[in-house]
Structure 1
């Protein structure tokens, strides 16, 4: 994966995208469904390069303090912490990418995996 590849619409590089992917965390969770198309469509990555892009974005989110979560549903959208991916950031990122690949490496489901900062406002503490 070439970190200086530019997004076909917005013009920022892969390196810049990875560096700023966690910027939304203060106001909202970031979904895997947002990461995959950014790599596949925006940067036109596939196969190993796309997998590495997803891994690096997940690592950046985890380094920012985000945790993997899924929605709990109901009238209030509560997050449910997903602890089965492992303990270290690298183990978690590798497990998430492996799960995504085993599911066919398609577009992630908006109702699927997200990354949220632990706080009472998102139901994690």
Structure 2
């Protein structure tokens, strides 16, 4: 994956995208549904490069303190911490990428995997 590849609309590089992606965590969770199309459509990455892009984005989010979560739904949207992906950041990232590949490596539903910072305003069940 060439880290200097530029986004076809916004012009930033892959390296810049990965480095700044965790900045959104202060405002909102980041969904896998956002990461996949950024790589596939925005940076026009093929399968192997897209897989590595997703892994690197997840690693950046985890390194910033985010945890893998899914929505709890209901009248109050609570995050449900997903602990079954492993212990280390690399193990978690690899498990999530493997799951994505096993389910067809397609676009992801907004109801799927997210990454959120633990905080008093974000309830992890």
**TM-score (normalizing by structure 1):** 0.98
User: Which residue of 1 is the match for residue 120 of structure 2?
Assistant: 120
Root-mean-square deviation (CA, aligned residues, Å) is 0.9
CA distance in 1, matches of 2:53, 2:122: 26
- Tell me, which stretches of 5 or more residues in structure 2 are unaligned? none
Q: Distance in 2 between matches of 1:5 and 1:13?
A: 5
Runs of 4 or more above 6 Å deviation? none
Q: Distance in 2 between matches of 1:3 and 1:52?
A: 11
Number of equivalent positions: 125
> 1:124 Cα shift?
3.0
Asked if 1:65 corresponds to 2:65, the answer is: yes
Q: Which residue of 2 aligns with 1:28?
A: 28
- What corresponds to 1:74 in structure 2? 74
Q: Give the whole-Å Cα distance in 2 for the aligned partners of 1:62 and 1:124.
A: 16
Which segments of 5 or more consecutive residues in structure 1 lack a partner in the other structure? Answer: none
1:72-118 superposed Cα distances (whole Å, 9 cap, x missing partner):
00111000000000000000000000000000000011000000001
What TM-score do you get using the length of structure 2 for normalisation?
0.98
Q: What SS does the aligned partner of 2:121 have?
A: helix
